[in-house]
Structure 1
Amino acid sequence: MTTLPASLRPLAERLFGDRLELAERFAALLAEQGPERGLIGPREVERLWERHLLNCALMADAIDSSVRTLADVGSGAGLPGVVIAIARPELQVMLIETMQRRTTWLEEVDAELGLGLEVVRARAEELHGEREFEVVTARAVAALDKLARWTLPLVEEEGLLLAMKGSSAADEIERAQKVLTKLGGIDPTITRYGMGEVEVPTTVVQVRRRPKASRKGDARG
């Protein structure tokens, strides 16, 4: 079932505003094509809204209204990148994905919904030194220590890495601390969005990237 449940409509309207129809069209595309194209499992169709679309859209609550550039690493089915682009049309969004069949899907979705996305087939590390963004997002890509190596070099000074995580978020931060420090990642925090609005809130690990001058100072120390 891809119809937005009535109980979730107030939250969907808060998150998507007058672009809710676009979110509903995206949900329909995912339900129709996602399983057969290997983007989502068949069992995920019936819980697309709460476990996927709204779960991802809640991530937009972590993005300051002043932010203009965002990259989503390992976009896959468009979660969370496409969803965030629908919820926050002022953002310039790049979707980074390694698999051709997935970039094809993302390009088709962009054309169908008219989102103005930039879809790039590449590994995140191939863009190191070439592109930087105010915010970089990732969902279910890798453990935080590995994810940080791929993503933090794409985050501009004082920008944010937003990694959607589960119950192991605190343990992942602890294990990744040395890697984060080495890459200039500071102040890792865990925030849960959608408390009281959805059954399973969205857990986001936020890591800020230290200014380069500070990183040099730490290196000397």
Structure 2
Amino acid sequence: MTVSRETDPLEKYAALIRKWNPVINLVAPSTLDQVESRHIADCLQLVTISAKARGPWLDMGSGGGLPGIVLAIRRPDLPVTLLESDKRKGSFLRTVARELELTNVQIISERIESARPLFSSNISARALAPLPLLMSYVHRHLDPRGRAWLMKGRNWQSEVEEARKIWSFQLNAHESHTHPGAAILELTDIRYA
């Protein structure tokens, strides 16, 4: 990754992940040398796909801030809330927000199912839970007219089939350019089937 003024915050973020990862497992240790090329590049796809999104954004189960921090860096116009129950990861996220001067970021250290409904216009999640369970979290926190952006692995199609047994939704699947077979699921009109 070439360092420029535009990507400098992403480079600082990658450095913070590398610094904290031995103490708090933010990314799999086997992928630590691929922070930019795998994790951040994966999240930048979401930034591009969701370029027209407006309104409050909630990143559920933020962990190390992927994709929430990347989104906040590249979309300073959006208020981004990071919902992460692990207090240590919450401390990491607060450090990142402070050191990168991300004034558009708020961190909530609560469980997704316990936090008061946030009615966000947009919700994202990456590697959080199987889609049928994830849909209940999305439904709890998404504005009825909102949009969910869910980053799913190779089994996303079977997860969609399972979720449709309980949930009704409109789906636009965006093929991942960083993980063959993976997709970013753009969901709207989410309700019980």
Query: Could you state the TM-score of these two structures normalised by the residue count of structure 2?
Result: 0.90
* 1:193 to 1:142, Cα distance in 2 relative to 1, 3 A: same
| Deviation (angstroms), 1:163 | 0.7
- Structure 2 unmatched runs, 5+: none
Considering only CA atoms, is the larger Rg found in Structure 1 or Structure 2? 1
* AA matched with 2:187: V
Give the counterpart of 2:159 among 140, 162, 172.
172
In the alignment, the residues of structure 2 paired with residue 66 and residue 110 of structure 1 have an alpha-carbon distance, to the nearest angstrom, of 21
Can you list the C-alpha shifts for 1:88-119, whole angstroms capped at 9, x where unaligned? 11110000001111111101111110112100
> Is the contact between residue 96 and residue 121 of structure 1 (CA under 8 Å) also seen in structure 2?
yes
* AA matched with 2:174: T
| Deviation (angstroms), 1:131 | 1.5
Partner of 1:75: 62
* 1:67 to 1:92, Cα distance in 2 relative to 1, 3 A: same
> Is the contact between residue 152 and residue 184 of structure 2 (CA under 8 Å) also seen in structure 1?
yes
| Deviation (angstroms), 1:202 | 5.9
| Deviation (angstroms), 1:180 | 1.9
> Is the contact between residue 124 and residue 151 of structure 1 (CA under 8 Å) also seen in structure 2?
no
In the alignment, the residues of structure 1 paired with residue 118 and residue 179 of structure 2 have an alpha-carbon distance, to the nearest angstrom, of 37
> Is the contact between residue 39 and residue 66 of structure 2 (CA under 8 Å) also seen in structure 1?
yes
1:23 matched to 2:10? The reply is yes
Query: Could you state the TM-score of these two structures normalised by the residue count of structure 1?
Result: 0.79
In the alignment, the residues of structure 1 paired with residue 118 and residue 11 of structure 2 have an alpha-carbon distance, to the nearest angstrom, of 32
| Deviation (angstroms), 1:65 | 2.4
1:161 matched to 2:148? The reply is yes
> Is the contact between residue 20 and residue 92 of structure 2 (CA under 8 Å) also seen in structure 1?
no
Partner of 1:149: 136
1:49 matched to 2:36? The reply is yes
The alignment partner of 1:119 has SS state of: strand
| Deviation (angstroms), 1:44 | 1.5
- Structure 1 unmatched runs, 5+: none
> Is the contact between residue 175 and residue 184 of structure 2 (CA under 8 Å) also seen in structure 1?
yes
- Of the structure 1 ranges 91-100 and 157-166, higher mean CA displacement relative to structure 2 is found in 157-166
Percent identical residues: 27
Matches within 5 A, 1:1-221: 4=1, 9=2, 19-116=6-103, 117-128=105-116, 130-181=117-168, 186-194=169-177, 198=178, 200=180, 203-209=183-189
In the alignment, the residues of structure 2 paired with residue 30 and residue 166 of structure 1 have an alpha-carbon distance, to the nearest angstrom, of 22
The alignment partner of 1:124 has SS state of: coil
The alignment partner of 1:126 has SS state of: coil
The alignment partner of 1:131 has SS state of: coil
* 1:101 to 1:66, Cα distance in 2 relative to 1, 3 A: closer
Structure 1 runs of 4+ aligned residues shifted over 6 Å read: none
